[in-house]
Amino acid sequence: MTELEAGRAQALTPVRGGAALHRYRDVLIALIAFAVLASLPLFTGSKALLDFVIRCSAYGLFATSLNLLVGYTGLTSFGHGMFFGLGAYSFGLIMQKLGVPIPVAFVATLAITAMVAAIIGAICVRLKEIYFAFVTLAFQMLIHSTILSWASFTGGDQGLRGGIPRPAFLGIDLANHVHLYIASCALLILGLLAMRQIAQSPFGYTLRMIRDNAARASFLGIDVWRAKLTVFVLAALFASMGGMVMALFVSGAYPEFAYWTISGEGIFINMLGGVSTFLGPMVGTVLLLLLNDTVTRFTEYHGIVLGVVILFFALGLRKGLLDFVAEWFARRRDAGEGRHA
């Protein structure tokens, strides 16, 4: 065997059949994660801990979906939070006004989100970089203002009050705290698994090509605009799912869910956790919520503390936490290989 052939054989084995294997590995990890999360109520009666996981589910879905845009496609949206708010409000309103079963409201909300995202996306994804960021921000403010001013429908600045009805379905009673907890975990895991599939599909690699070099991608026959619009809508769906989990959790919807600071927190989470690994935003979510919960307990100047933390990540590490860890492992592995060679 020549050196070239040897290199080829060694490189080919992991690739062949590897794609299917990776998929099973991801499903396995998801199942284990779900089993661990779902068994948590057996070991602890702490309502605060379960609440924390539910909030992580809502924000985690939102932040990971934002990373599909920021990290994988290079579309830095400053208005992604609008779909979080849209999900919460659509779901809450459908449940309050129509009284349909929860799964129906869930699917209807996703359909509404897809439509709205397709319209807004069609306008935004033609724009480059900072213009894209600003116009998405403008749409976010538009939706927020609409919620505030259309008080007869949305409750204005009071939000959707009076609670969201949570009728039991298929033996699942989301008014029950543990049921709600399990359902949130299930949505999180399913959502992450679906987004992981998107990221590792041929479409996911199309997104990476667009991020790296959109002009070259179009010279390979890729319709860049259509791919960007598709991922914009897909990401909106998962953000909307996050919004629904939040609405179920607080049994209501508030204008803050649609305010630009939600988008800001999404970006913040991505910077904390890192955008070059799939689970970076999930790590960021846990970090941010932990920081939020602990720091607000000790000082009213929590904004300053969070600011210092983000400066540390941006200027000190120059990347998110999981990016940093991943690179450290890669360097160690390379160094190890260098020594053996």
Partner 1 sequence: MLEIRNLAKSFGGVKATNDVSLDFADGSLTAVIGPNGAGKSTFFNLITGALRPDSGQVLLDGVDLAGLSPPEIVRHGIGRAFQVASIFRSLTVQETMLAAVSADQRSSAVLHKRFPLAETRDRAEHVMELLGLAGKRNRIAATLSHGDQKLLDIALALVLEPKVLLLDEPTAGMGPEERWRMIDKVRELWETQKITVVFIEHDMDIVFKIAPEIVVLCYGRILATGTPDEIRNNSAVIDAYLGTEHAGAAA
Nearer to partner 1, 10 or 39 (CB): 10
Residue with tokens 């699917």: 107
Cβ proximity to partner 1, 199 vs 279, nearer residue:
199
Instruction: Identify the CA nearest to 172 among candidates 190, 184, 189.
Output: 184
Q: If we measure between CA atoms, which residue out of 172, 170, 207, 193 comes closest to residue 61?
A: 193
Q: Taking CB under 8 A as the rule, does residue 203 contact partner 1? A: yes
Q: What would the two tokens of residue 103 be? A: 């799964």
Q: CA 280, 284, 289 angle in degrees (round to 5)? A: 155
What does the per-residue mask of binding to partner 1 show for 160-199, with x meaning CB under 8 A? -------------------------------------xx-
DSSP 8-state code for residue 170: T
171 vs 221 by CB, closer to partner 1: 221
| Cβ-based nearer residue to partner 1, 176 or 213 | 213
Which range, of 1-9, 90-98, 281-289, 332-340, touches partner 1 by CB under 8 A? 1-9
Is residue 22 within the footprint of partner 1 (CB under 8 A)? yes
Q: Is 212 in the site for partner 1 (CB under 8 A)?
A: yes
Which region among 3-11, 128-136, 172-180, 295-303 touches partner 1 (by CB under 8 A)? 3-11
Specify the 3-state DSSP secondary structure of 160. Answer: strand
| Displacement of CA 73 from its chain's centroid (Å) | 14
Q: Can you tell me the distance from the alpha carbon of 277 to that of 116, in angstroms, rounded to the nearest whole number?
A: 29
Task: Return the number of the residue (161 or 333) whose C-beta is nearest partner 1.
Answer: 333
Which of 127, 84, 87, 85 lies closest to 108, judged by CA? Answer: 87
217 binds partner 1 (CB under 8 A): yes
Closer CB to partner 1, 71 or 85, in the complex: 71
DSSP track, 207-233: HHHHHHHHHHHHTTT--HHHHHHHHHH
Q: In this structure, are residues 86 and 292 in contact, taking their beta carbons and an 8 Å threshold?
A: no
Does the protein bind partner 1 through residue 23 (CB under 8 A)?
yes
Stretch that binds partner 1, among 141-149, 220-228, 264-272, 293-301 (CB under 8 A): 220-228
Alpha-carbon gap, residue 44 to 37, rounded angstroms: 11
Among 216, 331, 332, 333, binds partner 1 (CB under 8 A): 216
CB of 80 or CB of 196, closer to partner 1? 196
Binding site for partner 1 (CB under 8 A): 3-4, 7-8, 11, 15-16, 19-20, 22-23, 197-198, 200-206, 208-209, 211-213, 215-223, 226-227, 230
